[in-house]
Amino acid sequence: MRVPIIGGNWKMNKTINEAINTVEDLKTKLEGVEGVEIVIFPPFTALKMLQGLLQGSNIGLGAQNMYYEEKGAYTGEISPLMLQDVGCRYVILGHSERRGYFGETDELINKKLKTALSFEFTPVVCVGEKLEERKAGRATEIVEAQVRKCLQGIGPEEVKRVVIAYEPVWAIGTGETATPSQAGEMHRFIRKILKELYGEELANFIRIQYGGSVKPENIKGLMKEEDIDGALVGGASLNTESFAKIVKGSRRL
């Protein structure tokens, strides 16, 4: 019922030329692939160029971040209007690197989410605990607070479009993945919170991606978990071969 969604988060990588080469190769490798929603999140500078290249393909375009105001004196920020202008339909909000290095809070992410939804983006809202929080047995508590605060004031019609990415911070870029059962358990827990907030039907509709050192070797195991609806891929999305393998491996057969 839920179509898996695989996102390639390129982070602060690739010049425009590198981005063009990557996308041309990716289009060939993923041509005709169905049963999975595919999105890439290139750096801002490459978006305009890629908009044209991706037209008519099965790969969607997204941004890695967005401010919650439409325009104004916010030096260095990027607005929803600007992202719409370059053909973005998806946006990542509250990635752990934004939270960790740039001080983003759940309150800020909630504001961004409201704007993103009003502009009809598909927002990918990231949550996840740090290593010390998991070690202290506080992982579910932390994730629950993030989910509730980020979704504060979001109505049932809007929440349908939200994708949640569970990304344990200790698994991002470390090569250490949560095991399918560790991830599956947290995804079930997140869905339980969604049930409390929005009821059974909506909770079963919302997609929850896993993120953190996803590779071609571990995607199939992760996708066997019923509550894992795809992946947000960092490092392995920079290489077209591994990203294409992850996309293909994520289809529920």
Binding site for ligand PGA (CB under 6 A): 9, 167, 172-173, 211-214, 232-236
31 is catalytic: no
**d(C-alpha 8, C-alpha 86), whole Å:** 18
User: With respect to ligand PGA, which residue has the nearer C-beta, 7 or 80?
Assistant: 7
Q: How far is the CB of 238 from ligand PGA (least distance, A)?
A: 9
Q: How far is the CB of 175 from ligand PGA (least distance, A)?
A: 8
95 is catalytic: yes
Catalytic entry in 37, 95, 104, 133: 95
Catalytic entry in 37, 97, 167, 225: 167
The CA R_g of the chain, rounded to the nearest whole Å, is 17
User: With respect to ligand PGA, which residue has the nearer C-beta, 23 or 214?
Assistant: 214
- Strand-strand pairing, 230-233 and 122-127: unpaired
Q: How far is the CB of 219 from ligand PGA (least distance, A)?
A: 11
Residues 6+ away with beta carbon under 8 Å from 128: 96, 143, 146, 165, 166, 167, 168, 169, 172, 211, 212
Residues 6+ away with beta carbon under 8 Å from 182: none
Closest residue by beta carbon to ligand PGA: 234
**Which positions are catalytic?**
95, 167
